[in-house]
Amino acid sequence: MDEAGWLALYRETVAPLYAFVARRCGGDRALAEDVTQEAWLRAVDAWRRGGAPREPLAWLQTTARRLLIDWARGEGRRRFDRVELALDEQVLAPTTPRAVAAVQQALARLRAPDAALLEEFHFDGRSVREIATAAGASEKAIEGRLRRARDALAARLRPWIEEARTP
Partner 1 sequence: MNTNDTVDPEFTARLEWQVRTALRRTSRLARPARGAWRVAKLAKSAAIVVVALTAGATATLALQRVQESRSAQLRGHIASLELARAAQRQKLCADALARVDAAIARGMEPVSARNEAELAAARGVGELRRRQLDVEEIAASGRAPDDSLAAPRVGGRDFAGARLGVDLDDASAALAVAQHALEHVQQLASAGATGTGEVADARAAVAHAMSEVDRVHARTGLRSRFLSGELSAARVEWLGRIADNEAATIRRAAELERAKAVVERARTLSAAGFAPQGDVAAAELALADAQAELMILRDERALLDEELAAAH
Binding residues (CB under 8 A) for partner 1: these are: 3, 6-7, 10-11, 14-15, 18-19, 22-23, 26-29, 32-33, 36-37, 40-41, 44-45, 48, 73, 77, 79, 95-96, 105, 108-109, 159-160
CB 108, min distance to partner 1, A: 7
CB 31 within 8 A of CB 97: yes
- 22 vs 117, which CB is nearer to partner 1? 22
* Residue 119: DSSP 8-state: I
Q: How many Å separate Cα 120 from the centre of its chain?
A: 9
- 36 vs 63, which CB is nearer to partner 1? 36
- 33 vs 130, which CB is nearer to partner 1? 33
CB 13, min distance to partner 1, A: 11
For helices 139-157 and 128-135, angle between their N-to-C axes, nearest 10 degrees? 110
Q: Can you tell me the distance from the alpha carbon of 19 to that of 54, in angstroms, rounded to the nearest whole number?
A: 21
- Containing H/E element for 24? helix 3-24
Residue closest to 31 by CA, chosen among 12, 13, 18? 18
CB 2, min distance to partner 1, A: 8
- 10 vs 135, which CB is nearer to partner 1? 10
CB 89, min distance to partner 1, A: 20
